[in-house]
Each structure stands twice: as C-alpha cells, then as structure tokens.
Amino acid sequence: MTLPLAQAFLEQAKTDYSTFETIRKIADQPPSQWLHLLQMVLEKTAKAYLAAGNNEDYETLRRSHRAFRRFTHTLPRNQGVRDSFNMNPHQLRQHIKNLETLIDEIERLVPGQDNQGVTAEYPWPNPRGGFYTPCQYGYDNIVSVLNTARGRSLLLILTRGLNDTRWHIAFGIISPH
C-alpha cells in the first residue's frame, strides 16, 4: 500500500510511538532505547506536517533529523491548534518557547556530522579516553524533564499531532471528507 508522503510519515510515527510507549514502561530498559524512539517519533511527526504544508520536499526532509522545532513554530498560526490548547497565538508561542530546550536536547541525540557527542544510538568518544555507551548513559538532562509539566506538555503536543484528526485536516494531511 502506498500513501501520500505526509500520511506515510504520520503512520510510521504512530507505530514508532506505540513502541516508544511500550518500551518506556519496561523498568529495566535503558533510557537510550526509548529516547531513540522518541527522537524518531518527533522527527517523523514533524515531517508529516512539513510535507503536508509543502514546506519541504522529500529530499530535504530525508536529509534533516531536526524537524520538530520547525514544526512547533507553525502551530501558533493554526486556529484549530490554538483552540485545542485554549491559547491565543502569543500564549502558544510562549508555551512552545518554554519547550525549545527540551526539544533541542532530544533532537541532538541523532548521531552524525552535526553531533560528535551524546547520542541515543551509537557510542561516542570520551575526551579522556574510551567511549561512552548509550545503553549505560543516564540522559538525566532529558529524562528528568520528561517527568515534569514541560515534558508532559511536549508529549501532549506530540500525541495531538499524531492522533488529532482536526489537526490532520487543518494541516492538509488528510482531507475533511
């Protein structure tokens, strides 16, 4: 089965989110496992919306892993999104601004040219010798925040982006019919 690009990204993000939720609940799973999934869910959800808005083409979307912050900047312009949060544009912009550090921390977990440090996927060098291993690293800067109101707010934006049909229609991921 083939789908339009935005729908394809959204369907994969939903599946990844289900796996994220399952793994996050397992007590002995290291944070690297579910943080890697969370990063991918944020990325694919954002790419669904960016593709639907014709903001970026397939090749551009494929090359970038940092998309969620760009996506959140589109939210205050959408009346349906503002209504779902019961906020005016200024309030929603401020709300999103308060999440940007957390979003950036999660988006930086992707290894590659832009990141030679902490990742959730591959070992990275310790400047004093040896390597850090994701499955043995705590990610306290992210894990501790995800359990606060800021973290819950980020996950609320994510789950609405994944599951709220009104958002999907408003951004053109699906048609209203």
Amino acid symbol at 153: S
Taking only the tens place, the pLDDT of each residue in 46-93 is 999 999 987 667 777 887 778 899 999 999 999 989 999 999 999 999
pLDDT on residue 55: 65
Rounded to whole angstroms, what are the CA distances from 64 to 61, 68, 156, 160, 163? Answer: 6, 11, 23, 23, 23
Distance CA 107, CA 94 (A): 20
Give the pLDDT band (50/70/90) at residue 1.
Answer: low
Q: Over the Cα atoms of the chain, what is R_g?
A: 17
Amino acid symbol at 3: L
Instruction: Give the mean pLDDT of 91-111.
Output: 94
Among 27-31, 113-117, 161-165, the range scoring the smallest mean pLDDT is: 113-117
Distance CA 177, CA 175 (A): 6
Distance CA 168, CA 64 (A): 22
3-state secondary structure 85-112: HCCCHHHHHHHHHCCHHHHHHHHCCCCE
3-state secondary structure of 130: coil
Q: What's the mean per-residue pLDDT of the chain?
A: 91
Tokens at 25, concatenated: 């609940």
Share of the chain above pLDDT 90, in %: 77
